[in-house]
C-alpha cells in the first residue's frame, strides 16, 4: 500500500448551530484519484475548504504527508454550541493560511470559477508561478533576476500547452467558454507546483462529450505531473470512470466509502441519492 | 512601459512601445525647450510643475487603489510626512534658526536634495508599514475611513506645539531648496539654463518608471491578482497580508516623494495645507484617468491641474460679455463644475479616459477585432 498523502481525522466544521461537516475521517494515498460525492449541501466544498485553510475546522485534524496542517478543538463560544463528537481529542491548535498550504503542495480549483477577471489567460497562469520565486522585491522590480522571470514565462506557456490553451493565451480569461475556463483553472493550479490537486466539480456545466474529455485529461495530467487527485464531482459517469476510491457524504457525515463498484451497490448511498420510500 | 501580454516567453518591446517611448521623450524635449524661450512666470510652468507632482502622487494612489484593489484615502497624510521630512532635513544650517524662530531646532544637519527626498519617501513608507499592520485587516470602505482618519491625525500632530523643535509647530517651514534653485545661474545672477520645470519631470518620470517596472514584475502581477480575486490569489500562494503591506508601503513611499516635490513647488510647507480635499483631488485624477492605468493618471493629472489652476479660473470671477453679466459665476463656482464633472464621469464613463489601458495600447490594434476574424 502506498503512503498516505492526505488524512482527515474526525474533521468537524460547525457554523453556529449548523454542522456542515460531521466527524469526517478519510485518507488519500499517493497516486490515487479519490472522489468525494454527496447530494447538494452535503458539505463537500466545506471539507475542501478545511483542507486548503480557508476554514479552520471546529474539531479534528488534517495531515498532509507528515505535516499537520490543521488541528483544532471547540473553544470559546463553540464549547457550548458544539454538536459533534470527539471534542476533547485534539489538544493542539494548528492554523495555516491558504497561501502557505499551497506552497506546501496542495493546489485547488473552485466550484464557481474564480479566475483573475481582468487578466489574460497567460497572465492567470503566470501569477500562480509567483510563489516559487526566489527574487525579492528589488531584484524583481529592477529585473536583476531576468532569468527567473523568463523561466516563469516558459513554465506558464508549457502549462498552457499541456491544457491546450496556448492558442488563446492573449484572450481575456473570462472571454473563454466555460469548459476552457475550467481547464485554465487547472493549468493555474498546476503552475503552483502541487503534489496534491483538489478539483471542486471540474465537470460542472459540461456536456457528456466534454465530460469524457475531462476524464481523460485528468488522468493524463495525473500521470504527467505525478499527482494525487482529490475531487468533488456530481457527474456519476465521470466519477465511476476515473476514481480509484470514492467517499460518499450526506449531511456532513460519511455514509460510505470504497471502490466505485462497492459504492454503487451500497443501499445507504442509493437512499441518499434517491430518497427513501415512505412505506 | 512594458506591455501586459507577451507572445513568447521572452518579452520584446513591440512597435507601439517604441512609439510611446518616443512620445514621452519628445515631451521631455519640448518641456526643456519651452522653458528656455518662454518667460518663467507664465502660468504654463506652474501647471507643468504641479502637474508632474500630482502625476506621481496619482500614480502612487493608483498603485494601491487601481492595481491592488485597496481603497485608501491616506495620500495627503503621506504627502505631508514626505513634505515635512524633506523640508526639515534640507533647510540649510545658516537659515535654520531664522525659520524656527520660536523654537530651538532639534535637527541640526542638512542633507543634499536627493537623499532628503529618498528619506522623505522612506519615512512615509515606515509610517505606512506601522499603520498598515492594524488597518490593512479592514476591507474596502472601512479601510478608506481608517486611512482618511490617519491623514487627519497626522495633520493635527504635525501642528502640535510640543513637536515644535522638529516640525516648527503650526508655523511654516521655508528656505529649503526648491525647484527654482536648480536653474543654472551665471556669475552676475542671470539664469543661463532653466531646469526648474525639467527637474520635477525627471523626478516624477524616474519614480513612475520604477512603479511601472514593479507593476509588470511578478510582484505587480500578484497585486493585480489580489485586486481581481482575493480568495483565488491566496489559493495560488499569494501571501495576502504581506503583499498588501508591501503595496501600501511602496505607494506611501512615492506619495512621500511626491509630498517632497510639492514642498519644492510651493516653496513653503505648512501642515494645514494637506487637507483631505487634497486626497480627493488626487482621487479625482485617478478616477478621471482610469483606475488601473498609469498613463491615464499622468494625463489626467496635467489636465486636472491645468483646469483648476488656469483654464477654469474664469469661473471664479464675474464675467461680463457686452452688457450681459454671466450668472452663477462667482468665487468657488469652479469647484461646483468639478463636482459635476466627477458625477458625470462616475455615472457614464466609469472607465475614465484610459480604462485599464496604457499608452502603447492606443497604438495597437484592438484585440477584440482580431479575435472576431
pLDDT in tens, A221-239: 999 999 999 999 988 889 9
Do residues A50 and A62 make contact, with C-beta atoms less than 8 angstroms apart?
Answer: yes
Residue B157: half-sphere exposure toward Cβ, Cα within 13 Å: 10
Q: End-to-end alpha-carbon separation of chain B, Å?
A: 28
Q: Is residue B17 part of a domain?
A: no
pLDDT of residue A2: 77
For the cut 60, the answer to whether the pLDDT of residue B10 exceeds it is no
Q: How far is A110 from chain B (nearest CA, A)?
A: 8
Q: Is residue B52 part of a domain?
A: yes
Q: Is residue B297 part of a domain?
A: no
Interface predicted TM-score (ipTM) of this complex, two decimals: 0.90
Residue B291: half-sphere exposure toward Cβ, Cα within 13 Å: 19
What is the grid cell recorded at B284? 479625482
Q: Which of A129-133, A157-161, B342-346 shows the highest mean pLDDT?
A: A157-161
Question: What value does the mean pLDDT of chain A take?
Answer: 90
Give the distance, in angstroms, between the CA of residue B77 and the centroid of all CA atoms in the same chain. Answer: 12
Residue with cell 420510500: A277
User: Which residues neighbour A62 within 8 Å (Cβ) at sequence distance 6 or greater?
Assistant: A6, A7, A8, A9, A11, A50, A51, A68, A69, A70, A71
Q: End-to-end alpha-carbon separation of chain A, Å?
A: 44
Q: Is residue B355 part of a domain?
A: no
Q: Is residue B16 part of a domain?
A: no
pLDDT of residue B148: 94
pLDDT of residue B372: 40
> DSSP character for A120?
B
For the cut 90, the answer to whether the pLDDT of residue B313 exceeds it is no
Contact call for A98 and B239, based on CB within 8 A: no
Closest CA to A98 of A69, A134, A60: A69
pLDDT of residue B11: 62
Residues in chain B: 373
Mean pLDDT of B2-16: 59
Mean pLDDT of B114-131: 96
Q: Which of A136-150, B30-44, B258-272, B353-367 shows the highest mean pLDDT?
A: B258-272
Q: Band of the pLDDT at A29, cuts 50, 70, 90? A: very high
Q: Is residue B18 part of a domain?
A: no
Mean pLDDT of B53-77: 94
Do residues A159 and A220 make contact, with C-beta atoms less than 8 angstroms apart?
Answer: no
Closest CA to A101 of A32, A27, A137, A49: A49
Q: Band of the pLDDT at B85, cuts 50, 70, 90? A: very high
d(CA B297, CA B54): 9
Closest CA to B49 of B267, B216, B280: B267
pTM of the entire predicted model: 0.90
Residue A130 has its nearest CB partner, among B227, B235, B238, at B238
Q: Is residue B14 part of a domain?
A: no
**CA dihedral (B264, B270, B274, B275) positive or negative:** negative
> How many domains does one find in chain B?
1
pLDDT in tens, A242-254: 999 999 999 889 9
pLDDT of residue A216: 93
Measured between CB atoms, does B68 come within 8 Å of chain A? no
Q: How far is B240 from chain A (nearest CA, A)?
A: 8
Do residues A77 and A28 make contact, with C-beta atoms less than 8 angstroms apart?
Answer: no
The 3-class SS string of B321-348 reads ECCEECCCCCCCHHHHHHHHHHHHHHHH
Q: Band of the pLDDT at B365, cuts 50, 70, 90? A: low
Contact call for B10 and A153, based on CB within 8 A: yes
Residue with cell 517611448: B21
> Which of chain A's residues have a Cβ under 8 Å away from the Cβ of B224?
116, 118-119, 123, 127
Residue B5 has its nearest CB partner, among A122, A131, A188, at A122
pLDDT of residue B373: 37
Q: Band of the pLDDT at B202, cuts 50, 70, 90? A: very high
Domain that holds residue B253: 41-276
Q: Is residue B137 part of a domain?
A: yes
Residue with cell 507577451: B6
Amino acid at each position: 500500500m502506498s503512503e498516505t498523502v492526505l488524512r482527515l481525522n474526525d474533521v468537524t466544521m460547525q457554523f453556529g448551530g449548523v454542522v456542515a461537516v460531521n466527524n469526517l475521517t478519510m485518507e488519500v494515498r499517493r497516486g490515487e484519484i479519490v472522489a468525494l460525492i454527496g447530494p447538494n449541501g452535503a458539505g463537500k466544498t466545506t471539507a475542501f475548504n478545511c483542507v486548503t485553510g480557508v476554514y479552520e475546522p471546529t474539531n479534528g485534524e488534517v495531515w498532509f504527508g507528515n505535516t499537520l496542517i490543521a488541528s483544532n478543538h471547540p473553544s470559546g463560544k463553540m464549547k457550548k454550541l458544539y454538536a459533534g463528537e470527539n471534542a476533547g481529542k485534539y489538544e493542539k491548535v494548528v492554523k495555516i493560511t491558504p497561501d502557505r498550504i499551497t506552497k506546501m503542495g496542495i493546489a485547488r480549483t473552485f466550484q464557481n470559477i474564480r479566475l483573475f477577471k481582468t487578466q489574460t489567460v497567460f497572465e492567470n497562469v503566470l501569477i500562480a508561478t509567483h510563489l516559487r520565486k526566489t527574487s525579492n522585491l528589488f531584484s524583481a522590480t529592477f529585473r536583476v533576476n531576468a532569468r527567473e522571470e523568463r523561466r516563469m514565462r516558459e513554465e506558464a506557456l508549457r502549462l498552457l500547452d499541456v491544457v491546450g490553451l496556448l492558442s488563446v493565451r492573449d484572450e481575456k480569461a473570462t472571454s473563454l467558454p466555460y469548459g476552457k475556463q475550467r481547464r485554465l483553472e487547472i493549468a493555474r493550479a498546476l503552475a503552483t507546483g502541487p503534489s496534491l490537486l483538489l478539483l471542486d466539480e471540474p465537470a460542472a456545466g459540461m456536456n457528456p462529450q466534454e465530460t469524457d474529455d475531462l476524464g481523460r485529461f485528468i488522468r493524463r495530467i495525473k500521470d504527467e505531473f505525478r499527482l494525487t487527485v482529490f475531487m468533488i464531482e456530481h457527474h456519476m459517469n465521470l466519477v465511476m470512470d476515473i476514481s480509484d476510491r470514492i467517499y460518499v457524504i450526506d449531511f456532513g457525515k460519511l455514509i460510505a466509502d470504497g471502490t466505485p463498484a462497492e459504492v454503487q451497490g451500497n443501499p445507504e448511498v442509493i437512499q441518499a441519492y434517491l430518497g427513501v420510500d415512505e412505506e | 512601459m512594458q506591455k501586459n501580454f507577451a507572445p513568447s516567453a521572452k518579452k520584446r518591446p513591440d512597435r507601439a512601445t517604441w512609439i510611446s517611448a518616443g512620445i514621452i521623450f519628445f515631451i521631455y524635449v519640448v518641456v526643456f525647450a519651452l522653458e528656455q524661450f518662454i518667460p518663467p512666470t507664465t502660468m504654463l510652468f506652474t501647471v507643468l510643475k504641479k502637474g508632474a507632482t500630482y502625476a506621481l502622487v496619482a500614480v502612487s494612489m493608483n498603485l494601491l487603489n487601481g492595481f491592488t484593489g485597496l481603497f485608501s484615502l491616506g495620500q495627503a497624510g503621506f504627502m505631508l510626512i514626505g513634505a515635512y521630512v524633506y523640508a526639515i532635513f534640507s533647510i540649510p544650517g545658516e537659515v535654520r534658526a531664522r525659520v524656527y524662530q520660536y523654537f530651538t531646532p532639534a535637527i541640526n544637519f542638512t542633507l543634499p536634495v536627493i537623499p532628503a527626498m529618498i528619506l522623505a519617501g522612506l519615512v512615509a513608507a515606515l509610517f505606512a508599514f506601522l499603520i498598515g499592520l492594524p488597518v490593512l485587516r479592514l476591507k474596502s470602505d472601512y479601510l478608506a475611513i481608517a486611512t482618511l482618519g490617519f491623514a487627519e491625525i497626522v495633520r493635527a500632530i504635525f501642528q502640535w506645539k510640543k513637536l515644535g523643535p522638529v516640525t516648527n509647530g503650526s508655523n511654516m517651514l521655508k528656505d529649503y531648496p526648491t525647484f527654482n534653485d536648480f536653474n543654472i545661474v551665471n556669475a552676475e545672477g542671470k539664469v543661463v539654463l532653466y531646469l526648474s520645470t525639467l527637474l520635477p519631470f525627471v523626478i516624477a518620470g524616474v519614480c513612475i518608471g520604477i512603479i511601472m517596472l514593479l507593476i509588470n514584475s511578478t510582484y505587480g502581477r500578484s497585486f493585480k491578482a489580489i485586486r481581481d480575486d482575493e480568495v483565488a490569489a491566496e489559493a495560488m500562494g499569494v501571501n495576502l497580508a504581506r503583499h498588501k503591506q508591501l503595496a501600501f508601503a511602496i505607494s506611501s513611499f512615492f506619495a512621500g516623494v511626491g509630498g517632497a516635490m510639492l514642498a519644492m513647488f510651493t516653496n513653503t510647507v505648512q501642515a494645514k495645507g494637506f487637507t483631505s480635499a487634497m486626497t480627493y483631488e488626487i482621487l479625482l485624477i485617478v478616477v478621471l484617468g482610469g483606475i488601473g492605468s498609469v498613463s491615464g493618471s499622468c494625463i489626467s493629472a496635467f489636465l486636472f491641474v491645468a483646469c483648476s489652476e488656469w483654464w477654469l479660473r474664469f469661473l471664479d470671477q464675474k464675467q461680463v460679455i457686452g452688457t450681459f453679466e454671466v450668472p452663477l459665476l462667482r468665487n468657488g463656482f469652479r469647484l461646483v463644475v468639478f463636482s459635476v464633472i466627477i458625477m458625470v464621469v462616475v455615472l457614464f464613463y466609469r472607465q475614465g479616459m484610459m480604462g485599464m489601458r496604457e499608452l502603447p495600447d492606443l497604438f495597437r490594434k484592438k484585440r477584440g477585432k482580431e479575435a472576431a476574424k
